[in-house]
Amino acid sequence: MTACREGWVAAVLLATILALPLAKCGGSAGPRVGPLGRIRVLYIGDGWGPSPVAHFLTDPSFRVVSVPASEKHVGHGVQAISRAEMLRFVRIYMPRTYAALTGEYDYIAISDANRGFFGQELAWMRRSVEEVGLGIIMVGGHESFGGWAGAPSWADTDVAEILPVTMNEPKYHSYVYKVRPALDHPFTRSLPWQTIPTFRDGNHVALKDGATLLLTTDVHPYPPLSCWRVGRGMGIAHSMDWTPGGGELVMRWEYYPDYVANIAFLAVGREIPDDPQLVHRIRSRFFDLGTSLRLMLDIVAFAEKFGANTASLEVEIAQVHGLRQRAEQLYVEHSYEESEFTMDRIDQKLLDLQNKALQLKDQALFWVYLIEWLSVTGVSALSFLALWTVMIRRWLYREVATTRGQAR
């Protein structure tokens, strides 16, 4: 009986230890990603303005749904959206059930979102992280963490329980500062921190016991970026803003897309690339590829409007789309060198297609110019003939003077 009791106590202690958040931001059973290897992002708050959403949309590793829910960010200025409209957006775009949240998303980003827009969804978020292994991050802003200037605090919510910081102060500091790695970690090794611009402002938070500080600064005592494992998932706190205005300069950083992507990889337990320059180069090419494709399609459409036969280009355009899908899949599978090689083929095909489209455009415009020239020339000839008939020909055959008096 004593042995059974001791075994039961040991099992309880072991379960208790395993339930505690781990000090290191790692140790997950495997990455939390969608069926095709994509990270499905639910971005709540300020995603309909300048934000990481644009980069998530062009990076093949992500699929993103943006929910506008920020009274102080999206609700004013040129992007003015009323509170009633934002509540409607929350009803439309937020998952309707816990099963929908866990079945359709892997990563929850709460960026300057107003806590007052949400109810039972907050409990679902906590359960999805602890029970299913989703990743969650809260990003700084006037409506984040403890709130500021009348915004409700997140401190008493289920979300606060799974974040690695406490947020009891409804304050927002106004420091200007650069961040640097706080420890040697796959995330901190993934970026050239010496080139990162300055952040401005941030929320008053404090690191919880057992949490890991990833980035630090010498300017103020508030942890810039921290994480911890909680249940099967991970919680991350980014106490500064990563959109305008606090993150305006950082958004111009060449490595900003890599910064937000690698934080997402960390949150869902996906391996952070060990060749950041290669991945950075490919991400940039995917972003530029969309612009190149639109330019080429615009040239084709322009030529088609003037009667050019573009059927020969459609097959090659379909080939480009097929190569793009191949490059994206290789990128998602971490076959970065093969993905870049496929991108090289895409660039060459796009260059050939643009040259052919321009030739078709020139041929179509040649006939347009020829028809216009013939039209102008014909009108000029007819005008000259009319003038000659009315003026010059009449002068040659004018009436003669009367000669009756001379006849006598």
76-85: pLDDT as tens digits: 544 567 778 8
Same domain for 99 and 217, yes or no, is: yes
212 plus 158 within the same structural domain? yes
Q: Which residues contact 97 (CB under 8 A, 6 or more apart)?
A: none
Q: Which of 234, 268, 302 is the last residue of a domain?
A: 268
Q: Is 339 left (phi over 0), alpha (psi -120 to 50) or beta?
A: alpha
Give the whole-angstrom CA distance, residue 127 versus residue 119: 14
Mean pLDDT, the chain, whole residue set: 84
| Residue 288 sits in the same domain as residue 257 | no
* SS3 at position 74: coil
CB 148 within 8 A of CB 114: no
Residues 75 and 153 in one domain: yes
258 and 291: one domain?
no
Kindly state the percentage of the chain with pLDDT values over 90: 53
pLDDT of residue 341: 95
Q: What is the largest CA-CA distance in the chain?
A: 166
Domain of residue 163, CATH code: 3.40.50.880
Contact, 98 vs 200, CB < 8 A? no
Is residue 310 within 8 Å of residue 300, measured between CB atoms?
A: yes
Instruction: Determine, yes or no, domain membership for 148.
Output: yes
Q: Report CA-CA distances (Å) from 225 to 139, 211, 273, 378.
A: 9, 10, 19, 75
Report the C-alpha gap between 138 and 141 in whole angstroms: 9
Residues 41 and 147 in one domain: yes
Q: How confident is the model at residue 408 (pLDDT cuts 50, 70, 90)?
A: very low
In a domain, 7, yes or no: no
Residues 168 and 71 in one domain: yes
Q: Please check whether residue 72 lies inside any domain of the structure.
A: yes
| Chain segment 313-363, per-residue pLDDT in tens | 778 888 888 999 999 999 999 899 999 999 999 988 888 887 877 777 676
Whether residue 371 lies inside any domain: the answer is no
Residue range 385-406: average pLDDT? Answer: 63
* 99 assigned to some structural domain: yes
3-state secondary structure of 175: strand
Taking only the tens place, the pLDDT of each residue in 188-202 is 999 999 999 999 999
| 262 and 324 inside one domain | no
For the chain, give the number of residues: 408
Assess if residue 26 is contained within a domain. yes
Decide if pLDDT at 17 tops 60: no
- Structural domain span for residue 321: 283-366
CA distances to 89, 153, 165, 225, 238 from 247, in Å? 25, 21, 20, 14, 11
Q: Does residue 183 lie within any of the structural domains?
A: yes
Position with higher pLDDT, 4 vs 253? 253
Could you tell me if residue 395 is inside a domain? Answer: no
Tally the domains of the chain: 2
Q: Are residues 337 and 254 in the same domain?
A: no
User: How far apart (Å, rounded) are the C-alpha atoms in residues 307 and 309?
Assistant: 6
303 shares a domain with 213: no
Q: Which of 150, 335, 163 is nearest to 235 (CA)?
A: 163
Tens digit of each residue's pLDDT (9 = 90 or more) over 212-222: 999 999 999 99
> Looking at 205, 237, 268, which one is the last position of a domain?
268
One domain for residues 170 and 193 = yes
Do 57 and 120 fall within a single domain?
yes
